[in-house]
Each structure stands twice: as structure tokens, then as C-alpha cells.
Chains A and B, each alone.
Chain A
Amino acid sequence: MKAREEGIIISVARSLRGGLREVLSSNLGKAGVAILLFMIVMSAYSLYVLPSDFPEKWKYPTRPPWVFNPRNAQPQWVELFGAKVADTAIFSNLRADREGIVLSPDALLRLAPEAERALGVGRPVFIGYAMVFRTSYTLDNAAYPQDVISLFKVETSEKVNKSRIGVVVLMYITRPDNIVLKTAEERLTLATLDYVKIDQGAFASPYISHFKLNISEDEMRTLYYIAVFGKPVGKDFEPLQGEYQITLLLLFTGIDPREVQSLVRNGDIRISAEVRVFGTSYGLLGTDNYGRDLFQGILFGFPVALAVGFLVSLAIVAIGLTLGVVSGYFGGRVDEIIQRTVDIIANIPLLPLLILVGVAIQTRGYVGWPALAVIMFILVIFSWGGVAIISRSMALSIKSEPYVEAAKALGASSARIVFRHILPQLIPYAMAALVFGVPGAILAEAGLSVLGIDHGLPTWGRILADAQANRGIAYHMWWWVLPPGILLGLFSFAFVALGFTLETIVEPRLRRR
């Protein structure tokens, strides 16, 4: 038993070493190895960085965290190539830099002078306790950011009844031309205080009258953020570059201001803010039409591609090798049955079948890993034929080698002959077949995704499918189409390249006798 294992392990190690030497002797092989190493490193990084519930998050594009990302944003680095994009900026963990009890309008204006200067607002009349958060954003390209969103993190002790404390949230943006816009005003409670976005309605009418524009308030709203970040030039707008001040004013109402003040000072209420300016560029690889970070999606694709490719290929080679050797070595009726089965699966139109099964499992409601597993299973079931044919013919030729006859004459069992004399000879071929089988699986998965067979996991194919379905091409969103496709191709290329170089090892063995 031990000798048998040694035989296999030694020959695997030996052909690995031989294979590596062969592979590294050609440029194509070197490229393959380099890409494969890159894939492995990225997979490890992905597993380390991404949370385990990432696929679940990705599946619901209209929920956080994606709604707090700019949509359709290009990769940030396009700026280096002269593209006019607005950066996405995230100012997190902002603490109130001013606070105090507001008993008169003057007191409020001392805390947040923007409130007075805001277009057309006039002197606000509030009484309560106020907190002010500030940050600034520099627009250094001729582009319009898409939105400004302020998120709040509220922590309270048990003493505080959150829904009893009302909060008025005001957001002011001070532009480089010193015009101040009140971009949001919302009445919430501490319990519902989560985020506010720019509301065009809050400044539409004073804006129109200030710039003497000839448009209605409704038209104003359709301008989106051009109004906030641009200045009218004739009938058009152009981006206004420079530094923008963003001021958040929280006013606590419905409660004695002194009580709130003491709660805040004692740390019973802790509020921090995060301001996100949605630019037109984001991160390493931009975002899709829902604001999902494509870098994260693509990062998740690395381990999935490796796992799907290797598992499928491994299973194909294992089944094909076993059945091929059994068929070749034992012959007879078993051989006949396996041969006929191979005949059938070799002629089966695999892709239609996969789509059929994909649609079937979808109508059955399978999603996520089980759905992917079914697709992989089908791939394996109908793909082992080629490996079986070649292993069979190799087993047949080895079987008639005198040294196998010699082993038989010595009284070796069939198991010993198969494991000690036949399988070790097939290992180099199995390695090459393994390598060649990997891209097939991953490309099939990607193709199915593009056809809309949705297993719900963020894979490269899935991202491409989303791009295709949402007309990413029509909107010139190259960053949505190129990276997943290139990675898919690179990944396959690595294995095809390795396979081509390994072929030179396998080929003479096949032709030697």
C-alpha cells in the first residue's frame, strides 16, 4: 500500500518538476506562470480583504453600501491621462467643530454664518441645541460631481429616548464664488437620522432669481448637480472649479436644549458625520450603474475563477482518467459501455444543455453557490470524454508493454499494475489535461452569465453580463466591460499558454511508441 502511494506521489512530484522546467524554458510558459502567480496572490488578497457576506451585499445593488457610492463613475486614474473627471471624496469620522445652545437667530449665525448667507434664506429662527460639522472639497477638473451625501452615525446610551429627540438637518454648500446654497433641510429624529442628499428644491427658486435664469423650478431640478457645481454661461453651464465648503448643521428640537447639551457633553449622545462627494471617478476600477465598486466585484472574481476552473478541471481529469484507464485496462463489456457513453457525450451540444439546466435551476429558484455547483456539475458530467479517450489509448498501449506483462508474471494484482505501472505514466498527460481544462470551465461560466443564467455571485462573467444587460457599452462605460473581460482572457491565456508548453512534454509520450 505504501509503495503504491509513493509511486504516485513521486511521479507527480517528478512530472511537476519536469513540467516546471519545461514551462520556464519558453517565454509563453513564463508569461503563463507569472499570470498564474498574480491570480493566486490576488485571490489570497481577495479572501483576506472582502467580508464573507460580500456576495450577499453585491446581490442587492440598491442597498448600502452601494447607494453611498457614485454611479457610473470612471476609475480615478483616468485623470492621469487628462480625462476631465471630478474626484470622489469621502470625509469620514467628522466631529462637530462647533456646538452650543441657540436661543436667538444671532446665536445660530455665530455658529454657522452660512445660514445667513445662503441664497434667499434670510434669517432662520430656531431655538435649540446645535452642532456644526464642516469640511471642504476641491474641484480641480472641469467636471460636475454627481451628488453630496452626508451620513450620520448616532450612538446613544440607554438614558436617551432617540425617537423623542427631533433633529433638523441643514446642509449648506459654500461655492468658490462665495455663493452659499442651502442644499438640504430635513426634519428627522435621532432614531431616523441616517443620511441626507442634495435636494434641488431647497434652493431652486432663489438660484433662478439670483442668476436671472429663464427656466422653471421643475427644469431646474432636471439639471441635477450642474446647478450646484456650475455657473451659468449664457444658456449653458460650466463647471466651477475651486474649493467648496460643506457645512452640516444639526439642530435638536422637542427637548430642553440644556438637557441635550449635557447629554452630549456627558457622552450619552455621540454623533459623527461622513460627507461623501460623489465625483465622476471612483476607486481603482470605477463603479457600475448602481454605484457598486467594480474593483471589489472583480477582486471577488479571482478566487471564484481559480476555484471553479480548478475544481471542474480536476473533476474532469479525475473521472476521465479513471474511466479511461478502467476502460483500457480491463476491456470487455465495461470498455464497451464506457466507449458508447463517451460517444454520446462527445456529440452532445454542451452549451444548449448548460443553458437548459441553468434556466431549469433558475425556475426552480436555486441561487448562489448551489446554482454554481449545479452548473459545474453539468460541465464535469459532459466533459470527461476527451480525457477518457486519450487515457484509454495510453492505458492500452502501456498495458501491452512488456514490463506490465512482467509484473503480471510476477503475480502483481490489477490494482498494483494500475497504480504502480500505468497511472504514473499518465501523470504528465493528466497534468497537461488539468491545465487545459481550467479555462473551459471559467469561460463557460462567464458565457452562461452573459446569457442571463444568474447564479447571483459576483464573477467576472456576471459583471460582464450586467454591463451587457444595462447597455454599459452604449454608454461608453469601458471600465465596466474591459477589466473583467481582460482578466477572463488573461486567466485563460495563462492556462492555454501553460498547456501549449506542456504539450511538448505530452506529445512525444503519445507518439513515442
Chain B
Amino acid sequence: MEVLKVQGLKVWFPVRKGLLDVLLGRQEFVRAVDGVSFNVSRGETFCLVGESGCGKTTTARAIMMLIDRGDVRGGKVLFKPREEVLSEIKKLQPSAIVDSGYVDVLATRGQANKLIRREIQLIFQDPFGSINPRMRVYDVVEEPLIIHGIGSREEREEAVAKALEAVKLSASDFMYRFPHQLSGGQRQRVAIARTLVLNPSLLLADEPVSMLDVSIRAEILQVLDELKKTRGMSVIFITHDIALARYICDRIGVMYLGKIVEIARADEIVENPKHPYTKALISAVPDVVPENRKVLRNVPIKGEVPSAVRIPVGCRFRPRCVAFDENPGIQEKCRKEEPGLLRVGEEHYSACWLN
């Protein structure tokens, strides 16, 4: 059963809104997310993979309602909250509820919006920036509880201690420290604890380990995995590292220039990639066997990512596609028409005219 359904999400940012542009009615957009759809099931870990600038973080921010509503130019984010939350929202804003138990997240306002925020939490990439340097660990972890008016002072203290223990930080040791007294890994664990106190049913993790030392990455991933298992949370894991994604995710969606180009079970996508972009991503992963790394492999991709302001007509991957050059037969189609996600196997979809 899906806990989250993202349908045709579009996030376009206006470029340079000068007075004269407004007067002349001119407007250009950065199409950061340009029609993204995927589902996440309860208890599942779903990975969004892609190079930087492909829109994966923007997708997460849109789901988190951190994007100005005006910049969301289409699509829906449907979320199935817990029963008690759902019934609350039913009272507060019945119009936000669409078919049987799903809440249109982007349509929620005021209190309803706040309730939804308790259910969806986000872990940021940068453990140094995402914690206010002037707040103690205790204040940081307690803040969500204060915001949502949960518990008495004693109860909050207990909840904070519990959350810290859950991320394997000794509460008595760390509670009253300042962020600058912590290591990167400890900070990221504090950030995770901050999301846990609210006991969310969906957790978004935006490259949570990419800024950490390699040696402590495993630790954090382990914490995340354990939490997922013990609490039954769904996780959306965002990473540029498809190898990492394979090991921690159930399913993977590969994003390119604002769109998902391939989506499948993790093993399937790595072992049997269909989209030329996915193939390129996988062949760029260094080999596990050190000797093989010395062989310079040919990564099947060319050129640079085009600007998200001027997305190529037709298939957006076309200018970089090696398969496009090799298959003169489909070139006409690639130039004119944008491929949708086509079923290429069991739970396996790819957006390429070659399939």
C-alpha cells in the first residue's frame, strides 16, 4: 500500500523577475522538476538517484512543502497519514483530502499543514548547516516538540533523551553540548534524532552521508536502517551514488534534468539497466576489485548537462545520448517526441524510445 504518491510534479522557478520583465510580461523558468511521478510503499526505502542539479533535492523540498506554492506549477503530492492524523485533518480541512485516506499535501493550509509536517520529516545533506549553531543539542531535538506543542517539559525531556539514545548518542553526555563541540557524524545523528521525536511515518533523507567522512558513513546508514526496521517508516533516500542506493534501497528512480528516466527494483536496475543514462551512471561506478579500476573504462555519455532553463525538445537526454548516435533509425522520434515511462519488465519502467 502506498504511503506517498507523487503525480506529475512540476517545480519551475522564475528567472530574474525585474520590474521591466513583469511590465513586458516576459518570463523564463528554471524547470527544476518537470513532471515527476513515483510511489512509495509503507516500509519501503525508495531512492532518487541522479547527478547534482537533476532536481532530486527540489523534489524532496517540494514534498516537504519547502517550495513556494507559486513555484509548484503542476502535479500533486498525495500522502496517507496515520489514522488519527487523517481524522484530525478531516475536521480541519476536509477539502485537502482526496480519495480514501490520501491528503493532497500541497493543498493543506494552517493547522492541517502543520499536522502533515509531523508526519513527513527531512534529514539534510549538510550536518553543519542544518543545525542552528547557537542552540544546544537538547534545544535542537526538543524544537519539533515545542513547535507542535507536544508534551510537558518532563515528557519532552524524556522524548529527547529517547531520540538521542535511538541514534546511539548518550543523552547525558550530549544533551547540553553545542553543535561546534560535535563531530560531523554526531551532528548528523542529532539531526536524525530531531526528526525522530515526532515519530514520522515518512522520512526523506537528502544525501545524508555525502558530506561525512567515509569511515562514519556506514554508522549513519546503519542507524537509518535500524530505525526503518524498528519503526516501520518509509524512507525516500536521495543520493548521487547508485552503488550506495543499491545496497540500501528497495526501489530506485533515476532522475535526469527534472524527470525520472528509469524506475525499477534496486537489483534489477543495477543488473539490467535499460535507459542509456542509467547505463552511464552504472558504468561510472568504480569497480569493487581494485585491479580493475586501473582499466580506463569508457563511460557511455557525452557533453555536459544542459541548462534547466532551456530543456531540449523531444527526449531531454538526446544531446548526451550515445545510443542516439548509434541508432539513426529512431533519431527523428527522439528529436520530436519526449518518451514517457514505458514498462520494460516487472516493476521496471524506462523513458527511452529504444526500449
Give residues in A with beta carbon < 8 Å to B. 3, 11, 14, 401-403, 405-413, 416, 420-421, 424-425
For residue B269, CB closer than 8 A to chain A, the reply is no
Q: Which of B113, B117, B143, B198 has the most CB of A within 10 A?
A: B143
Q: How far is the CA of A411 from the CA of B118 in the complex (A)?
A: 8
Q: Do residues B124 and A406 form an inter-chain contact, with CB atoms below 8 A?
A: yes
Q: How far is the CA of A11 from the CA of B129 in the complex (A)?
A: 19
Q: Do residues A425 and B134 form an inter-chain contact, with CB atoms below 8 A?
A: yes
Q: Do residues A406 and B114 form an inter-chain contact, with CB atoms below 8 A?
A: no
A131 CB, min distance to chain B CBs, angstroms: 78
Q: Do residues B129 and A411 form an inter-chain contact, with CB atoms below 8 A?
A: no
B146 CB, min distance to chain A CBs, angstroms: 6
Contact residues in A for B56 (Cβ distance below 8 Å): none
With known contacts A402-B124, A424-B134, A425-B134, A409–B143 Cβ distance under 8 A: no
For residue B10, CB closer than 8 A to chain A, the reply is no
Q: How far is the CA of A402 from the CA of B132 in the complex (A)?
A: 9
Q: Do residues B117 and A406 form an inter-chain contact, with CB atoms below 8 A?
A: no
For residue B126, CB closer than 8 A to chain A, the reply is yes
Q: Do residues A407 and B114 form an inter-chain contact, with CB atoms below 8 A?
A: no
A343 CB, min distance to chain B CBs, angstroms: 14
Q: Do residues A402 and B126 form an inter-chain contact, with CB atoms below 8 A?
A: yes
Contact residues in A for B275 (Cβ distance below 8 Å): none
Q: Do residues A405 and B144 form an inter-chain contact, with CB atoms below 8 A?
A: no
Partner of A410, one of B129, B133, B147: B147
Q: Do residues B117 and A403 form an inter-chain contact, with CB atoms below 8 A?
A: no
Partner of A405, one of B66, B121, B198: B66
Could you name 24 residue pairs across A and B whose Cβ atoms are closer than 8 Å? A14-B134, A402-B129, A402-B130, A403-B133, A405-B66, A406-B131, A406-B194, A409-B64, A409-B65, A409-B117, A409-B121, A410-B121, A410-B143, A410-B144, A410-B148, A410-B198, A411-B117, A411-B144, A411-B147, A412-B143, A412-B147, A416-B147, A420-B132, A424-B134
Chain B residue at minimal CB-CB distance from A405: B66
Q: Do residues B148 and A403 form an inter-chain contact, with CB atoms below 8 A?
A: no
Q: Which of A3, A14, A409, A416 has the most CB of B within 10 A?
A: A409
Contact residues in B for A11 (Cβ distance below 8 Å): 134
Q: How far is the CA of A405 from the CA of B61 in the complex (A)?
A: 9
Contact residues in A for B61 (Cβ distance below 8 Å): 405
Interface residues of chain A: helix, strand, loop or mixed (majority): helix
Q: How far is the CA of A416 from the CA of B135 in the complex (A)?
A: 14
Q: How far is the CA of A407 from the CA of B198 in the complex (A)?
A: 13
Chain A residue at minimal CB-CB distance from B115: A411
Partner of B130, one of A406, A413, A424: A406
Partner of B132, one of A3, A14, A403: A403
Q: How far is the CA of A413 from the CA of B134 in the complex (A)?
A: 19
Q: How far is the CA of A421 from the CA of B133 in the complex (A)?
A: 10
Chain A residue at minimal CB-CB distance from B120: A409
Q: How far is the CA of A407 from the CA of B125 in the complex (A)?
A: 15
Q: Do residues A408 and B114 form an inter-chain contact, with CB atoms below 8 A?
A: no
For residue B122, CB closer than 8 A to chain A, the reply is yes
Ranked 6 nearest A-B pairs via Cβ: A411-B117, A402-B129, A402-B130, A403-B132, A411-B114, A410-B144
Contact residues in A for B130 (Cβ distance below 8 Å): 402-403, 405-406
Q: How far is the CA of A411 from the CA of B66 in the complex (A)?
A: 10
Interface string of B74-97 (1 = CB under 8 A from A): 000000000000000000000000
Q: Do residues B148 and A411 form an inter-chain contact, with CB atoms below 8 A?
A: yes
With known contacts A409-B66, A409-B122, A412-B147, A401–B117 Cβ distance under 8 A: no
Contact residues in A for B124 (Cβ distance below 8 Å): 402, 405-406
Q: How far is the CA of A411 from the CA of B148 in the complex (A)?
A: 8
Contact residues in A for B66 (Cβ distance below 8 Å): 405, 408-409
Contact residues in B for A410 (Cβ distance below 8 Å): 117, 121, 143-144, 147-148, 194, 198
Q: Do residues A401 and B122 form an inter-chain contact, with CB atoms below 8 A?
A: no
Chain A residue at minimal CB-CB distance from B131: A403
Q: How far is the CA of A412 from the CA of B64 in the complex (A)?
A: 13
Q: Do residues B147 and A403 form an inter-chain contact, with CB atoms below 8 A?
A: no
Q: How far is the CA of A408 from the CA of B113 in the complex (A)?
A: 11
Contact residues in B for A424 (Cβ distance below 8 Å): 134
Q: Do residues A403 and B129 form an inter-chain contact, with CB atoms below 8 A?
A: yes
Q: Which of A3, A408, A411 has the most CB of B within 10 A?
A: A411
Interface string of B190-207 (1 = CB under 8 A from A): 010010001000000000
Q: How far is the CA of A420 from the CA of B132 in the complex (A)?
A: 10
Contact residues in B for A409 (Cβ distance below 8 Å): 64-66, 117, 121-122
Q: How far is the CA of A421 from the CA of B61 in the complex (A)?
A: 20
Chain A residue at minimal CB-CB distance from B60: A409
Chain A residue at minimal CB-CB distance from B128: A402
Chain A residue at minimal CB-CB distance from B198: A410
Contact residues in B for A407 (Cβ distance below 8 Å): 132, 143, 147
Q: How far is the CA of A39 from the CA of B124 in the complex (A)?
A: 51
Q: How far is the CA of A402 from the CA of B60 in the complex (A)?
A: 14
Q: How far is the CA of A367 from the CA of B195 in the complex (A)?
A: 61
Q: How far is the CA of A132 from the CA of B151 in the complex (A)?
A: 89
Chain A residue at minimal CB-CB distance from B64: A409
Q: How far is the CA of A405 from the CA of B122 in the complex (A)?
A: 10
Contact residues in A for B146 (Cβ distance below 8 Å): 3
Q: Do residues B122 and A406 form an inter-chain contact, with CB atoms below 8 A?
A: yes
Q: How far is the CA of A374 from the CA of B147 in the complex (A)?
A: 43
Contact residues in B for A425 (Cβ distance below 8 Å): 134
Query: Can you name 6 extra interface pairs (CB under 8 A) apart from A409-B121, A411-B148?
Result: A3-B146, A405-B66, A410-B198, A411-B114, A416-B147, A420-B132
Chain A residue at minimal CB-CB distance from B118: A411
